[in-house]
Amino acid sequence: MSRIVVWDVDDVLNDLMRVWLDNVWTPAHPAPVVPYDDLRENPPHALLGITSGEYLSSLDEFRLSIGYAQQVPNPDILAWLQDHGGRCRHIALTATALRTAPTAAAWVLRHFGRWIREFAFIPAPRPGEVLPTYDLDKGAWLARLGTSAVLVDDSPQNLTAATAAGAVALCWPRPWNGCRASVAETLQALTRLVDGREAQ
């Protein structure tokens, strides 16, 4: 079976939460600060003592700023793609606001376009915005690819939806998802899937 690797963007290909926390939130809120490694929830607005709307507004502004454009691509994933990327197709799939999708697409294609040739997004709901609904979530989107898809994502909700849709789900370790595998182990599992050596 020829696999298609579907990459989540934020907090997988990049380090969005850490960059936002360190460069936007913490400088503006000197105390109390929640250390990145203590972020057991994502979205983290309750931990930070703000509303979901305040959090999303700040994150959207950051996504449109030079700070997002200057994010460093994940070096472990770049190295993996260098070694293994050419053996299958790759798609970026992100859930983001419509107005922040263009900057996400530009960032992905600039750093990963050698392998990731397709960019897809599911519009995250924002107040006052009414858009056509094609896919309710990543699971609905992935269902079109069937069992060839491997989703790499940090969100337990997305991973569950992917599995329900028939895709293979690989959890990218972050403080908020309780993933037990390391980055190296996760990428080794991906290699096995791409090579067709996965245990069934």
In the complex, which residues of this chain contact Mg ion (CB under 5 A)?
8, 10-11, 154
Q: How far is the CB of 153 from Mg ion (least distance, A)?
A: 6
Residue type, 5: V
Closest CB to Mg ion among residues 43, 166: 43
Q: Which is nearer to Mg ion, 10 or 83 (CB)?
A: 10
75-84 vs 183-195: helix crossing angle, rounded to 10: 20
- The minimum distance between CB 39 and Mg ion, in angstroms, equals 13
The DSSP 8-state label assigned to residue 147 in this structure reads: G
Nearer to Mg ion among residue 27 and residue 142 (C-beta): 142
Nearer to Mg ion, 45 or 195 (CB): 45
Give dist(CA 112, CA 2) in Å, integer: 20
Residue in 56, 38, 154, 41 with CA at minimum distance from that of residue 98: 56
- Distances from the Cα of 44 to the Cαs of 3, 125, 175, 177, in angstroms? 33, 17, 11, 12
